[in-house]
Structure 1
Amino acid sequence: MSEVLDSYPQWVDGAWVTIRLTLLGGALALVLALAFGLAGTSRHAAVRALNRVYVEFFRGNATLVLLYWFFYALPLIGLRFATLFAAVLALGLNIGAYGAEVVRGSINAVPKAQHEAAIALNFTPFQRMRRVLLPQAFALMLPPFGNLLIELMKGTAIVSLVGLVDLTRVSKNVQGSTGETVAAFTVALVLYFVIAQVLQLLVRYAERRVDRMLGRGLPARPALDTAGVAGG
């Protein structure tokens, strides 16, 4: 076990690669989820069709196949990507498809009365979405977004197959050099678990902030004692 722990510089570098992939892939997935999720709520059939094509295609393909496509297939037709960029694309496109459904479902879950109130206030469609619907839908999106981010982090393990030295690759390298199979993969398990817990804490913190912004979870104001006031 000591030989495995003595390789901590490799573990640190591998964890940093995993974290970078998670953050970059998560950022791309968030942008795609918002764009195509909003498209899924459009009144125009052609825009909704774009949502369905993106969601069904990338949700229906394995992330590993997408990674191989970007890394091995596209260079054959002249499109060559850096390894990290290809990995971020594969992860972001796949998770973004699931996120787009989260966005669409969360917006549709906002009570119809909120739509009607915004229309009564003469808000434009853009104002309704930005000031009324999205803030409320965002609170609904956060828990599933947190789950998707953790799934993306775990999915980064596939990048070891195209040469990136992430936690999974480090565990294999350390296992090969020390012969300590159980210890090497146990350290990898623990590090993945720690990263997942940190991500979960960040998501829960974001949930509390959004709840406070929307006035949720605040202590109720004490009721005014009208009888006492009248008697006074």
Structure 2
Amino acid sequence: MNWATYLPMLWQGALVTMSITLAAIVIGACLAFFFGIMRAEGGPILSKVALCYTEVFRGTSLFVQLFWFYYALPLIGFSFDPITTGIFVLAAHAGGYGAEIVRGALASVSVQQLEAARALNFGRFQTLFRISLPQAIVEMMPAFGNLAIETLKLSSLVSLISIADLTFAAQSIRNLTLDSASIYSVTLVGYFAMSLLLMAVIKVIERLVRRGNVFPREAQP
């Protein structure tokens, strides 16, 4: 097999995979904080809206979500290109799980901290953004790291909607060469290498967060 011909195809697919994964992680994190805070602090109505979002995206298959948004949604007048669809569905899926991480971390802040904030006449949002959230973010980081790695692995499903990611490239080359063992071995190594790189970045961010260099923590009341 002529690797000089096929390795650039795999490399290009890996770049697409990383681009989609990073975009999905960033957007998913934003969704996670938005809906997680809504669950924890949104009151009876907004918390139920957030609950519906998390249950839908956590309780249904990502495979079905991709197909529904790409093939079924256009039937009611909304159509998006494969890249946009892939990023949105991965982000929404990650956001559903991430929202529960945010909610749980906010709930872990000690009652004494919240009572002290009320004693100092802190408002609801002041308590959230100056006391609860800076402490909760530290607790969220390991779980968010695992979620980011899971998002990378799940990104292989976007090949099903014709996105030329690493899995799509591997499948295309395999169809041309019929060399399953070599192609999928290289693909496996590629995903593992991307996971190691992503884990290294996450570890750096986690250390910075714990030191307070990214999200400075207020002095505890």
Q: State whether TM-score is above 0.5.
A: yes
Shift of 1:177: 2.0
| 2:41 equivalent to 1:42 | yes
Structure 1: segments with no counterpart, 5+ residues = 215-232
Q: Which residue of 1 aligns with 2:20?
A: 21
| 2:93 equivalent to 1:99 | no
Q: For the residues of structure 1 that align with 2:42 and 2:201, how far apart are their CA atoms? A: 35
| 2:155 equivalent to 1:132 | no
List per-residue Cα deviations over 1:137-160 (Å, max 9, x = no partner): 001111111111111111111111
List per-residue Cα deviations over 1:36-57 (Å, max 9, x = no partner): 1001112621121112111111
Identity of aligned residues (%): 37
**Cα RMSD for the two superposed structures:** 1.4
List per-residue Cα deviations over 1:174-227 (Å, max 9, x = no partner): 21222321110011101101111111111111111111118xxxxxxxxxxxxx
Q: Which residue of 2 aligns with 1:83?
A: 82
Matched letter for residue 174 of structure 2: Q
| 2:176 equivalent to 1:199 | no
Q: Which residue of 2 aligns with 1:53?
A: 52
Distance verdict in 2 for CA 1:67–1:190, change over 3 Å: same
TM-score scaled by length of structure 2 = 0.92
Shift of 1:110: 1.2
Rg larger for: 1
Structure 2: segments with no counterpart, 5+ residues = 214-221
Alignment of 1:1-232 (within 5 A): 3-4=2-3, 6-42=5-41, 44-213=43-212
TM-score scaled by length of structure 1 = 0.88
Q: For the residues of structure 1 that align with 2:167 and 2:9, how far apart are their CA atoms? A: 11
Shift of 1:3: 2.3
Q: For the residues of structure 2 that align with 1:50 and 1:117, how far apart are their CA atoms? A: 30
Q: What number of residue pairs does the alignment pair up?
A: 213
- Structure 1: 4+ residue segments shifted above 4 A: none
Matched letter for residue 113 of structure 1: Q
Matched letter for residue 185 of structure 1: Y
Q: For the residues of structure 2 that align with 1:119 and 1:5, how far apart are their CA atoms? A: 66
